[in-house]
């Protein structure tokens, strides 16, 4: 894990502005089936990115990783570029599997995004991994509380969701292994084991 000196603050005013902007964009959005404010997911993903050694640009992109896909497509990407710069916009774009409304069919989107990730930058892989890990943690927690009806929340259902998460994990384990990949593997094994019982 990276060590920051006590006098060095890795986050500044840009990050603070991104926190406000992410809240504005997602203020009325909640997590599927739970009613939890969506910003909780964005904060969790950002924490994982920072704990994995992410830069300020990566932390900002983590806060905004769903903004383009969920909150307005290309105009939002342009706004992110104007406010936070080319690097952040490029990372957010790499984490986005669709900018069109309505979105293309789920399986096609995921297959295309997996192909893209084969050549994606380390920041895109780090945020995608953190996003998937937090989603998997949430699925496992909800699965234990409400059971297999949980899977009706997801367009890919149980089999599609687990296929996508496993495919993504296998890809990132080759390109950017980390403690996050190990944890995702453990969480997925727990979900798979619970689902079989």
Helices (H), 85-121: 86-94, 106-117
Is 118 in the active site? no
Is 86 in the active site? no
Give the C-alpha separation, 13 to 27, whole Å: 21
- The tally of CA atoms less than 13 A away on the side-chain side of residue 171 is 23
Give the C-alpha separation, 155 to 63, whole Å: 24
Spell out a b/e string for 126-141, using b for 16 or more CB atoms within 10 Å of the CB, else e: bbbbbbbbbbbbbbbe
Q: Which candidate in 57, 58, 69, 97 is catalytic?
A: 69
Q: Which candidate in 70, 93, 111, 185 is catalytic?
A: 70
Contact 166, 136 (CB under 8 A): no
Closest CA to 15 of 77, 67, 90, 85: 85
Give the C-alpha separation, 43 to 36, whole Å: 12
- Which letter does DSSP use for residue 64 in this model? T
Give the C-alpha separation, 60 to 108, whole Å: 28
Known catalytic residues are 69-70
């Amino acid at each position: 894990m990276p060590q920051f000196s006590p006098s060095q603050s890795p986050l500044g005013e840009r990050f603070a502005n991104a926190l406000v902007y992410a809240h504005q964009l997602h203020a009325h959005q909640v997590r599927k089936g739970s009613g939890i404010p969506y910003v909780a997911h964005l904060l969790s993903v950002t924490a994982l990115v920072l704990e994995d050694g992410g830069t300020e640009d990566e932390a900002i992109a983590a806060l905004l990783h769903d903004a383009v896909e969920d909150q307005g497509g290309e105009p939002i990407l342009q706004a992110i570029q104007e406010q936070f710069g080319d690097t952040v916009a490029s990372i957010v774009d790499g984490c986005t599997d669709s900018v069109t409304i309505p979105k293309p069919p789920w399986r096609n989107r995921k297959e295309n995004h997996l192909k893209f990730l084969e050549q994606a930058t380390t920041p895109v892989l780090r945020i995608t991994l953190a996003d998937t890990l937090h989603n998997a943690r949430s699925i496992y927690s909800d699965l234990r509380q409400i059971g297999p009806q949980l899977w009706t929340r997801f367009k890919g259902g149980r089999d599609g969701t687990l296929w996508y998460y496993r495919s993504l994990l296998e890809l990132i384990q080759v390109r950017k292994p980390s403690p996050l990949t190990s944890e995702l593997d453990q969480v997925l094994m727990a979900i798979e084991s619970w689902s079989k019982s």
